[in-house]
Structure 1
Amino acid sequence: MDTLTIAIFPKNFAALLFDMDGTLLNSMAVVERVWGAWAVRNGLDPHELMKSVHGVRASDTIRKLGLAVDPDLEAHALALAEIADVDGIAEIPGAVAFLDSLPPERWAIVTSAPLELARRRLAAAGIPVPRHMVTGEDVTAGKPDPQGYLLAAKRLGVRAEDCLVFEDAPAGILAGSAAGAEVAVITGAHAAAEGTPHLTLEHYADIEARIGGDGWLSLHRRYS
């Protein structure tokens, strides 16, 4: 059977910038286990807390709660617990193959996670560590601030407005938009960004990138 491919965007991109959790890999079960236990210990409703943890730095989430705790110490303890628990972490379908098809100088990861946790989760999902990765430790302001995406674009030597950001959570979507980038929303891990006006993709299994003569990337969807 012939395969039809159709361009997803009417423009090409200098680079692709990816969030990690919920975008390249599914870590929902781990997040719910670790943060759920933390919520109970601190007298919080785990279900309500989960609405605010996606896509942002742990210290920022804790700081906004106004608890009588040190946000940085609590965030560090949570990171250690998450590093120790990678059970069930898996790639979003097609993510590894899609990343492998990209020139290494044309993509980066921008995550709110600290570096050690990011490396641990990427390894658990079988995703290669990119040449360029911006973590929550690299910025003074986390998502929804655009600092992380602006820094990633700078490290790649491109303009943020010439990039395509892949995100899954509202805070990250806002960060990508504020950086001036085009945004695509991955919906395969959860429905936190339901109703977004941006293009949505469930996964990467039917997506391919093509490299133009100028090195810029165009995205296409395959139909069989």
Structure 2
Amino acid sequence: MSGHGLSLPDGRYAALLFDMDGTILNSIAAAERIWSAWATRHGLDVAAFLPTIHGARAVDTISRLALPGVDPEIEAQGITDAEIEDVEGIVEVPGAENFLKSLPVANWAVVTSAPKALALQRMKAAGIPVPAVLVTSEDVAAGKPNPDCYLLAAKRLEVDIADCLIFEDAAVGIAAGEAAGAPVLVVTSTHLHPMETAHATIRSYEGIVAKAGEGGFIQLEDGGI
């Protein structure tokens, strides 16, 4: 632990796998505007419902509600279309853009519960570089907490999932990382309340340096900011 709040894992990693929303960019304002309107239309308790949307695919969030007469696929597409249109207030998690740009392109991926069109729109809005490997909701049959998305990212990068470090912010994504069998680093930038976790945590990417060492493995170091 450094004096400026980093708690970095000390392993060496073949690749770094990043969740998107809440992990490398903050889209909470836009997402909650759209989901609040949707929840209101369906007579839901908005305050109770909003915490359930983070980290999961829209279709899974809606399916869990089992609302009579509601087609989760159609409703999820409507949510996605609205989110693609509304990117106001979407920003990077502090330091994320520069940190990602410092990584070798063959050694990182983004693994998101968002559809591809939405992921690209949000990364563009936040100034986040688009990775060579992007795994989205359309790429897997079962979303987080199922580990398939992370296993697919490792496969596409041609590395062993056990040699990857997964960056996550939400409980459902952390569970997916654990189920995949990879170490997890929790990003707390968008957390309103402290999260109890046994994993290493960071608040932002400021002060973190990725060093490529022997065999191309990456090690995270405290840059001393």
- Aligned residue for 1:128, secondary structure, equals coil
| 3-state SS of 1:218 partner | strand
Count of residues in Structure 1 that have an aligned counterpart in Structure 2: 221
Hey, what does 1:37 align to over in structure 2? 37
The residue type equivalent to 2:64 in the other structure is: K
| Shift in Å, 1:183 | 0.3
Relative to the length of structure 2, the TM-score reads 0.95
Q: Secondary structure at the match of 1:214?
A: helix
1:48-69 per-position Cα deviation (integer Å, ceiling 9, x unaligned): 1112111000000100101120
Cα shift at 1:221: 1.5
For residues 64-103 of structure 1, give each alpha carbon's deviation from its aligned partner in whole angstroms, at most 9, with x where no partner exists. Answer: 1011200000000000000000000000000000001100
Q: 2: CA distance between counterparts of 1:175 and 1:43? A: 31
Q: Distance in 1 between matches of 2:123 and 2:106?
A: 18
Equivalent residue for 1:159? 160
The residue type paired with residue 61 of structure 1 is T
After TM superposition, give the deviation of residue 192 of structure 1 in Å.
Answer: 6.7
Moved more, 25-34 or 186-195: 186-195
Distance 1:53 1:141 in 2: 16
SS at match of 2:185: strand
2:7, 2:201 within 8 Å by CA — same for their partners in 1? no
Partner residue in 2 for 1:59: 59
Q: Distance in 2 between matches of 1:8 and 1:93?
A: 16
TM-score, normalised by the number of residues in structure 1: 0.95
Shift of 1:45: 1.1
Code of the aligned partner of 2:159: V
Provide structure 1 residue ranges, at least 5 long, that are not aligned to the other structure: 1-5
Q: Partners in 2 of 1:192 and 1:87 — Cα distance?
A: 24
Percentage of pairs with the same residue: 54
Measure the CA separation in 2 of the matches of 1:80 and 1:44.
21
Q: What is aligned with 1:116?
A: 117
Match of 1:22 in 2: 22
Distance 2:90 2:179 in 1: 29
The match for 2:50 is 50
Residue 87 (str. 1) matches residue 88 (str. 2): yes
- What's 1:143 paired with? 144
Q: Is the 8 A contact 1:7 1:220 kept in 2?
A: no
Amino acid at match of 2:39: A
Q: Work out the CA distance in 1 between the residues paired with 2:119 and 2:185.
A: 21
Q: State the distance in 2 between where 1:13 and 1:192 align.
A: 29
Q: Which letter maps to 1:10? A: D
Letter in 2 for 1:54: H
Question: What is the deviation of 1:223?
Answer: 2.5
Shift in Å at residue 47 of structure 1? Answer: 1.2
Q: CA deviation at 1:9?
A: 2.4
Contact 2:165–2:185, Cα closer than 8 Å, also in 1 = yes
Deviation at 1:213, TM superposition (A): 2.6
Work out whether residues 169 and 192 of structure 1, in 8 Å CA contact, stay in contact via their aligned partners in 2: no
Query: Would you identify which runs of 4 or more consecutive aligned residues in structure 1 move more than 4 Å?
Result: none
